[in-house]
Chains A and B, each alone.
Chain A
């Protein structure tokens, strides 16, 4: 059985004109892109549009891909930008939903319990209160689980800047949760960090 082609091999084949190979990349990464978009606050029913847009953008700018970065890092970067663009256009369309991700918006995933889903929806709501430049590194680090250097590459920022933004983002999130969503703070950590 032949080994699966690497991301770089696939990219090179697509650039050489074998466009159909791009489908393998899409299938390989569509879950990552969709999940990242959801975690960045895109409602479930609009994730497909965002993912479609992300992969189309990736295809059009594939010649600019730098092999020194992992393809997933580059995809995170494009997904984050697409999610923010999407939010901006939605806000432009309907100014009423500044903090819109409501419980009714999100159908639960198969593995999510109702309590978890409620907490996740409230957390997304709380995250929307953070400025974008704090929210993005926080989500990429603590939700997507990327190391600092990957976050720095994905956001095209120096590692020091990412670290300081993360520190401020955590502090601000803590303050937001303490004031507006006290029920979301994990029980064992309330006293220790208050």
Chain B
């Protein structure tokens, strides 16, 4: 209650004391400079060299020219191969050699992967067999440990009960006499 009242009084005091700061105002006009700064930071669009009305025809012409160039190149290559051009023949021989090398390489790589996988499988099987052999022993050790634990608890309980039975009885009065304890 008191703290709430103090708080209210203090708030009123601060409100009154800081009044001159509340009457302070500042006027700035930063809109232009901010917008300029933003404009500078924006990525500029790539300007086209052509006027807008030529851009569509230019795009279509580029597509047609590209397709024509591809057609010319592929026709030339087919003609060279069918007419037995030595350059084309060499290229085909090189391509065939490359292909057979690739095939052999892939076969060899597959062999290596297969051998590795087989080795890993053998190791895995051996490990599994070992685990199967050892598991009865592990189980037996676990049972033995549990039995020992239970025996230890039983023995401790026996010792404690015997100690309680044979301990001398001490009354509150004699305890106070001996140790000067509670009155």
Name A residues whose Cβ lies closer than 8 Å to a Cβ of B: 19-20, 22-23, 26-27, 30-31, 34-35, 37-39, 44, 47-48, 51-52, 55-56, 59, 109, 111-112, 116-117, 119-120, 123-124, 138-139, 142-143, 145, 166-167, 170-171, 173-174, 177, 184-186, 189, 192-193
Bound: A71/B29 CA distance, A: 19
Determine if A59 and B34 form an interchain contact, defined as CB atoms under 8 angstroms apart.
yes
Q: How far is the CA of A35 from the CA of B25 in the complex (A)?
A: 5
Q: Is the interface of B mostly helix, strand, loop or mixed?
A: helix
B11 at the interface (CB under 8 A from A): yes
Docked-complex contact A170 and B16, CB < 8 angstroms? no
Q: How far is the CB of A148 from chain B (nearest CB, A)?
A: 11
Q: Give the number of residue pairs across the A-B interface with Cβ within 8 Å.
A: 113
Q: What 1/0 mask marks residues of chain B from 28 to 42 whose CB sits below 8 Å from any chain A CB? A: 111101110111001
17 more contacts with CB within 8 A, not counting A124-B21, A170-B13, are A26-B30, A26-B31, A31-B25, A31-B27, A35-B25, A35-B26, A47-B26, A51-B30, A52-B30, A52-B33, A56-B37, A112-B24, A123-B17, A143-B22, A167-B7, A170-B14, A177-B17
In the complex, are the beta carbons of B35 and A23 less than 8 A apart?
Answer: yes
Flag whether B96 is at the interface (Cβ < 8 A). Answer: no
**Total B residues in contact with A, Cβ cutoff 8 Å:** 29
Inter-chain CA distance A97–B33, complex, in Å, is 29
Give B8 Cβ to nearest chain A Cβ, in Å: 11
Chain A interface, >50% SS class: helix
CB-based contact B18/A30 at 8 Å = no
Given the complex, which residues of A lie within 8 Å of B26, measured CB to CB? 31, 34-35, 37-38, 44, 47, 109
Q: Are B10 and A174 in contact (CB under 8 A)?
A: yes
Measured between beta carbons, the chain A residues less than 8 angstroms from B20 are: 116, 119-120, 123
Say if the beta carbon of B15 comes within 8 Å of chain A. Answer: yes
